Amino acid sequence: MKVELLFPEIANQFGDLGNMRYLARCLPQAEFCDTHLGEEPRFLREPVNLVYLGPMSEQGQEKVLEVLRPHRFALQKQLQEGTPFLFTGNALELLGERIENEDGTRVEGLGLFPLTARRDMLHRHNSIFLGSFEGEPVMGYKSQFTMAYPGDKSLGLFLRERGVGLNPRCPFEGVRVQNFFGTYLLGPLLINNPPFTRYLLRTMGAGHAALAFEKEVQAAYEKRLEDFKAKA
């Protein structure tokens, strides 16, 4: 079992590497590998059970695009073959068609999904989100300068119940294409949502694994759900 963390030196805004620290507690025998800027991603040359990329600054997005752009077709092949990917925060924007700036300039994405992100750097959006995934509640926090506009309504990851989806009018949050899971939700996502974490583990081929601190995590999830329903 092998998990690859892409560019953790710049892709850890909001402490979202906590997702992988928690996953490592669920999978104590797994190998967790860091790939840094300037290094070739492992998933291009060897099998991995999950590739993770967390949120980063706008400048960080452009650095990561420089690294991944030469491998666009190899990345597309991995997606088509079902390799699991989890991208949190603004990482999901990199696989879209472009990121548009307020001044009319734009950053070209990898073009793997029909998705456009639009930045508004003077207005940070902060909110809580409540939705569902495979019939189970999903919760999280959002803090972002961008909204994403999908060209395909089948891309959605989480059905929105309350809060803002990919954009204020979108009925879903995040992007799902085969075993690619991308979401703006912070928290970290995996600690806050044990049903989704169990699903991810099954997708990785680790359905036998027990959640770390399962009793405590489940109790916190149920209490948080109660609070979110009261606030939203």
- Report the residue count for the chain: 232
Span 6-15, pLDDT tens digits: 999 999 988 8
Q: Which amino acid is at 46?
A: E
Asked if residues 190 and 23 have their Cβ atoms less than 8 Å apart, the reply is yes
Tokens encoding 205 = 């081929």
Query: How many other C-beta atoms are found inside a 10 Å radius of the C-beta of residue 217?
Result: 19
Residue-level pLDDT at 212: 96
Q: Whose CA is closest to 177, among 149, 153, 143?
A: 153
The enclosing H or E element of 92 equals: none
Q: Which amino acid is at 166?
A: L
d(CA 42, CA 37): 12
Read off the pTM. Answer: 0.95
Q: What is the DSSP letter of 178?
A: T
- Does position 232 have pLDDT exceeding 70, yes or no? no
β-sheet bridge partners, residue 158: 173
Residue-level pLDDT at 96: 95
Span 143-177, pLDDT tens digits: 888 999 998 877 899 999 999 999 999 999 999 99
> How does residue 192 score in pLDDT terms, banded at 50, 70 and 90?
very high
Domain of residue 72: give its range: 2-231
Count of domains for the chain: 1
CATH number for 88? 3.40.50.880
The enclosing H or E element of 158 equals: strand 158-162
